[in-house]
Structure 1
């Protein structure tokens, strides 16, 4: 017998529907009353963080006054006094009472607040009051960053001795290529200045947030190891010389206090919570003056135990599992991180609400059953009451925040969990949307800087999509006979992607086409990897063998997630470029809405859905034959291709079906990998690196990604030393032999034959067999050429130059040779073979430093220049282009024409055709 609600009761509600699993769902509308106040606080905080004090005070005062005014208003039917107030009568019509409220004088200009729309009065008042609170909080936080002596010292670039407290985990800066050199990788850490002492001895105490930059030559902080946690240098640091100093800086735990010397500088970006940048110097030597707090030491030991437990796992699982569990990404290689970004799986590397949700669900069971007799989870099996369960879950949430560090996503997850736990403890009905809005409001008021955090925005958007859109989409899929669990997973992944994609496009200028299937495939492994990973984390301090067993079990799902990311990123059509701006985000949002509306209609026609699915698969996989027919790239029978990799060099010589000899790797792994993928290169018989400048070798991981590389050949001039060491280390890790190219060497593979023209031989010749230990680099070796003595002035003059023959074509590849080496090449015996080549890869990106006699002797029919658009060097130089054209060459350049491919037979009567990808 069903219960009949009392219709006279204003709180009467229909009976919630209960599914077979015991889940309850409200049939009424979604409770969105807290959403406008949360959004008002969020927007106000974002606008007023760096606003002038007068503007912030005015906004706060105005919103506060408006909110109080609306709360004091009462409806016109309350407290009416017709005996004291009456409207004047008109001829033939008696006067009527004028019924006003307690603030009746205000109802004139604000009749909407006293009339039919008085229901909105409380909502608008709440928005104004929350905006006022956010303005006050943001104004105080912004003023706190700008106050004190530190900003003025930073404007003067003052040299100081400071006491700082580390406030977050240190991390490495991203490796960047500037021209022909790679910018040094530095250790970065957010810290708080506690005291500042200038050169004149004046000292002042303060609490100012700064960004601390520690270069590779700064020694490790002295004073003991109590402030150090992880002492293992992450893989990203491997490109630089491995020093104990860098590992020690990376191992510092939050709350550690240091005394350092350095120079202050203004913050790199405006509107940030950082008041200045402190670049630490080696003198005076940095030292630890106080160790970290007890909770941070405990968190550090737990994280170190998890790293130890995962030490013997396969490479991907070893790197990924600590990131999944506690957000420790120190082992994530740039290559793996790039794969996660291209598949929109990067959220799995940042600890978020999903991690806490998995743990809470393990404890209390599904949320829909939390207050039911048939509730599941570990708590009822342990005999815990509802309130005891809430207390235990609260302690679990607190420990989760401490171990995982209070990052924005972690704080948001903890806040949502706290609100839900309070509702559970008080026995009240919970609503997740109000919980999310409350979490956003509290977090923005507590830390207004979150209002400008992209990570916080993505976290809230994803959670909101799961709560608002996913249930309806899941129900629609179930109505069309999609299995329930698959419908829920598909709806969740699609909803999160649809809402977050515009923001991701702003950050990466790219839209992933494989995000939904990759998230679906990875989702099945996230929960077991998280639970087993936390088990390893908890047992490591007590029983390391047990922790290693749990970590070994967790390594399987973690490896699956990494494999999904790598496979998705390797697809040729994994993503498309998109304008990385807010107008571009709005355009993507409009496209998404159109796709969703069209998808609702297409679901009624299975045939059209199948055809669309096939088209999407073809778009993502892009089979080479089909792509060649549609785009014309690469052209059939291509012999030589110049990749568009920006300001750098990466070229490919066709060596058979799916094979190519790669000459140089460019500055960016993603760009060279994309070029080789579109050319269909899966096998590299030889990778030749003409010299070790970063714009030729920094993209090496992109060439090695998903391809078999038989051998690497380089110049013998091992400078810059850090790049040469990086190449040798990466080759040794993959058991690829490394040899040195010398003039006179002749080789052949497939239809290709080539002869090394430069550099001259030296003794002894370096040859590193596969798997052998790599000898240290020998800087500044002296060449012993045939003929006049020549010593290179730098890496450019030691570039490997080749004369290639393929399909009747003669190609001259000059690397980055400059006039001294070009003139020496003209004096060498090889000069006799340089006359009248078909194709010239112009040296040094077409710079002005060319030898006219070499250009005149080569007399190429086609000259190809690899240069970046709008590069600061002016490459290619107008004089060089003019000289080439004066000699009868057709000049093509990647900065204007994009990637280039050469076809033809060559010779005086042969035809040469150059196809541009654009």
Structure 2
């Protein structure tokens, strides 16, 4: 055999070689089959547009699309209009005449060559494994190689398929949107009418997230997604049968919320409430039904399948009851997507670390279950296959049927959220390939899943969760294999290369969408997801085992849950640690412009990364720069950003409509006065200041805009004590502070007038409130605070540091300000005044004249509904010769040095 003949002789051998991906020669796999991608994208775009369009516009667009598709096919396929292709040249030896490469027919006939080579990645989460480039279908490749006419026909067929699928999706989407816009429910909602409504529960009830409204927390309510089936308006309205999606909000006291939270999907209810339009137009909700108090009146119970799913979920809850708080909250979310126990601070940590996909059931959960059934994916269709099915002797097709049933059960138990539906559709298509013995490609499977789901539920076309799920999966199938191959060529071991490539690919395509929603970029997403990935599979497997065992043997389920609690706790620790880094997040322009800008920057970074990977020194330098950006050592951050200014003495943090003041007590230490309305804002402020130790945290009073951010101030910091006003009002907020302090093992003390303390260069005296502000403390001769409630019981501090005098008034109203002046007639003039009650119009003019501040600081939120600060108050302060600074326009404000310089960030 001559050297020239050797390659040709070896080609058939390579073509038939057994491999998880098909043939052993990578080039023989050919290009990916993208024929289903344009129809899927066309259907997605058409459905998203048609949901908000008029019926006339949709009808005209559909008719035009069908006519254009017919004309295009006729023009390219009519025999009189198409010249025949020139005859084919004789095929060379060893090649086929079908356009496939050598050995392709053998690979298509052999079900053992890669039938399920990448099942886990087909249904994986954004941090799943990405091991390989994916298979490709060769159907139609021969036609593309036969001549220009065939290529034109293929292109015309693709365009026609996109037009037809887009028209079909638009028609289906309009029909769905019409159900929302027509009927009695939207008209009653527009009139804010009361009505008796019969409805069917379609989703799991959940509690609203606590939100601060002014000085109070908005009451926590129960939200239930449902479908209204019958409605009867009050005042003689007739009963009408309908089918309209609604959002039920039950304003029930805590003891009655349990009955609402226990409702299962498919349960039928009868409620009486007031209907209102949805907060955001253009969504799938026809009306909001608000119900005040009471327990739900159940007309019919849930279906048998939902009762079984409910018992499984309840069993998992019971099995995890004794775990540590983070593991107890996180494990049900990892297994079945139940986040009812996840605290706001843990949820915020997962958001900051871009790990929220772990709180929503995704493809990784389903892939774990299917791998347990069929064994390693690349062996699933071969004689040496493994898994439970192989050990039990179950045939291949029966294994696929069992996998399909398991997938449907997974959707019922974990609920049909967008990511669950996407994973289930991809899994079912892949299982169908196993059952039929056909070679399958993952990109066509993903495109087919998108097309089917958009036609089934057009509202998914506007779901950000669905978009993120599809983008992450697409990145794992296309971008991740190339990144992994590049990393392996640079000497990285295969498994770490695949994990890193998967995390980078998912983050690269999902980050622009996250920016659209949140206006920030997580810098810890990739390392946090890599570290968490090590524990996801064990936590998921043991969690599902506990889920299955709970109805049969609760003690065994508790043991399994205890084992699962270790990896779940690790995941929570990774999220909290990553979110706690000073540079965990970076601000970025929000909206679609910010998303497009980040996409362009990411694409440029990936292109530049291909060159950087060749230079290890440059890679090490980039890693060092990233590490510095995450840790942000205070000296380095001060040099680069100028914040915080050297020698700062007090900082008024920008926490929105609330107060959070930081008084320097030495390197890394500060006394904090109030924590604002939101944990994330005060935590960010303290991190930028380098505060890791708080000897004393003062809460002037218990209004939510001063104490709701307490968990953010406590996060990752050593706190010596919490000092509060003696007036425990509002009682719910006072109790919340007590619980948080008790959980963190921090003592709570009460401020006493005349109390003097000193920490490092900082000293202060408590001037207010008098003892009579607290319960059971009034006595003869005591000074009684005015009856303005918590505001007039604010802890007031006179602070001295570095030759400066500060007076912090909390939210004192004019009567209390006047009483303060009467109780302290020798009150000195001050250098800095923290203006009372966010600069409201109600200030005592005599106190302002007495204090005669050089600098007045006002902490308030931009565009707040109260008009703070008042122009009258600012004019009065300026009349006293004070410079006025406000956080809503200046951001955080730092006061430095004895010369009273004020700096803004």
TM-score, length of structure 1 as denominator length: 0.87
> Which deviates more, 28-37 or 874-883?
874-883
Number of aligned residue pairs: 834
| Corresponding residue of 1:913 | 901
Measured in 1, the distance between the counterparts of 2:328 and 2:438 equals 43
Given the superposition, is the C-alpha separation of residues 915 and 624 from structure 1 closer, same or farther in structure 2, using an over 3 Å criterion?
Answer: same
Deviation, structure 1 residue 41: 0.4
Q: Choose which of 663, 672, 694 in structure 1 pairs with 2:704.
A: 694
| Corresponding residue of 2:881 | 888
Q: What SS does the aligned partner of 2:70 have?
A: helix
Given the superposition, is the C-alpha separation of residues 301 and 888 from structure 1 closer, same or farther in structure 2, using an over 3 Å criterion?
Answer: same
Q: Choose which of 284, 291, 298 in structure 2 pairs with 1:280.
A: 291
Q: What SS does the aligned partner of 2:771 have?
A: coil
Deviation, structure 1 residue 18: 5.4
Cα deviations by residue, 1:40-80 (Å, 9 ceiling, x for unpaired) = 00000000013111111122222223333444455465799
Q: Choose which of 729, 732, 737 in structure 1 pairs with 2:739.
A: 729
> Which deviates more, 595-604 or 707-716?
707-716
| Corresponding residue of 1:601 | 611
Contact persistence 1:64–1:128 (CA under 8 A): yes
Q: Choose which of 825, 831, 850 in structure 2 pairs with 1:831.
A: 825
Given the superposition, is the C-alpha separation of residues 667 and 517 from structure 1 closer, same or farther in structure 2, using an over 3 Å criterion?
Answer: same
- Is 1:799 the counterpart of 2:791 in the alignment? no
Measured in 1, the distance between the counterparts of 2:842 and 2:57 equals 56
How much is the aligned-residue C-alpha RMSD, in angstroms?
2.5
Q: What SS does the aligned partner of 1:604 have?
A: coil
Measured in 1, the distance between the counterparts of 2:242 and 2:477 equals 44
Given the superposition, is the C-alpha separation of residues 687 and 789 from structure 1 closer, same or farther in structure 2, using an over 3 Å criterion?
Answer: closer
Contact persistence 1:343–1:565 (CA under 8 A): yes
Contact persistence 1:518–1:565 (CA under 8 A): yes
Deviation, structure 1 residue 197: 1.7
Measured in 1, the distance between the counterparts of 2:301 and 2:233 equals 25
| Corresponding residue of 2:401 | 391
Deviation, structure 1 residue 807: 2.7
Contact persistence 1:41–1:441 (CA under 8 A): yes
| Corresponding residue of 1:815 | 810
| Corresponding residue of 2:248 | 212
Given the superposition, is the C-alpha separation of residues 744 and 381 from structure 1 closer, same or farther in structure 2, using an over 3 Å criterion?
Answer: same
Measured in 1, the distance between the counterparts of 2:21 and 2:53 equals 52
Cα deviations by residue, 1:723-775 (Å, 9 ceiling, x for unpaired) = 22222222232232222223222223333222111111138x6xxxxxxxxxx
Given the superposition, is the C-alpha separation of residues 113 and 268 from structure 1 closer, same or farther in structure 2, using an over 3 Å criterion?
Answer: farther
> Which deviates more, 318-327 or 65-74?
65-74
Q: What SS does the aligned partner of 1:469 have?
A: helix
Measured in 2, the distance between the counterparts of 1:580 and 1:720 equals 36
Q: What SS does the aligned partner of 1:117 have?
A: helix
Q: What SS does the aligned partner of 1:848 have?
A: coil
- Is 1:372 the counterpart of 2:382 in the alignment? yes
1:515-554 matches, cutoff 5 A? 515-554=525-564
Deviation, structure 1 residue 900: 1.7
1:499-510 matches, cutoff 5 A? 499-510=509-520
| Corresponding residue of 2:687 | 677
| Corresponding residue of 1:226 | none
Contact persistence 1:194–1:205 (CA under 8 A): yes
| Corresponding residue of 1:194 | 229
Cα deviations by residue, 1:620-639 (Å, 9 ceiling, x for unpaired) = 11011211222232233322
Given the superposition, is the C-alpha separation of residues 880 and 755 from structure 1 closer, same or farther in structure 2, using an over 3 Å criterion?
Answer: same
Contact persistence 1:113–1:120 (CA under 8 A): no
Deviation, structure 1 residue 513: 0.8
Contact persistence 2:786–2:816 (CA under 8 A): no
- Is 1:250 the counterpart of 2:261 in the alignment? yes
| Corresponding residue of 1:101 | none
| Corresponding residue of 1:50 | 52
Deviation, structure 1 residue 375: 2.6
Given the superposition, is the C-alpha separation of residues 289 and 361 from structure 1 closer, same or farther in structure 2, using an over 3 Å criterion?
Answer: same
Given the superposition, is the C-alpha separation of residues 195 and 663 from structure 1 closer, same or farther in structure 2, using an over 3 Å criterion?
Answer: same
Higher helix share: 2
Given the superposition, is the C-alpha separation of residues 18 and 472 from structure 1 closer, same or farther in structure 2, using an over 3 Å criterion?
Answer: farther
Q: Choose which of 867, 876, 897 in structure 1 pairs with 2:860.
A: 867
Measured in 2, the distance between the counterparts of 1:148 and 1:375 equals 55
Cα deviations by residue, 1:571-615 (Å, 9 ceiling, x for unpaired) = 100111111110111100000011011111111111111111111
TM-score, length of structure 2 as denominator length: 0.89
Q: Which has the higher contact order (CA 8 A, sep 6+)?
A: 2
Q: Choose which of 836, 841, 853 in structure 2 pairs with 1:848.
A: 841
- Is 1:566 the counterpart of 2:576 in the alignment? yes
| Corresponding residue of 1:588 | 598
| Corresponding residue of 2:123 | none
Cα deviations by residue, 1:9-66 (Å, 9 ceiling, x for unpaired) = xxx9982775699997663111111000000000000000131111111222222233
Deviation, structure 1 residue 903: 2.3
| Corresponding residue of 1:443 | 453
Contact persistence 1:70–1:113 (CA under 8 A): no
| Corresponding residue of 1:106 | none
Given the superposition, is the C-alpha separation of residues 452 and 312 from structure 1 closer, same or farther in structure 2, using an over 3 Å criterion?
Answer: same
Contact persistence 2:199–2:228 (CA under 8 A): yes
- Is 1:119 the counterpart of 2:130 in the alignment? no
1:149-548 matches, cutoff 5 A? 149-199=184-234, 200=236, 202-217=238-253, 243-282=254-293, 286-548=296-558
| Corresponding residue of 2:142 | none
Gap regions ≥5 residues in structure 2: 85-146
| Corresponding residue of 2:15 | 15
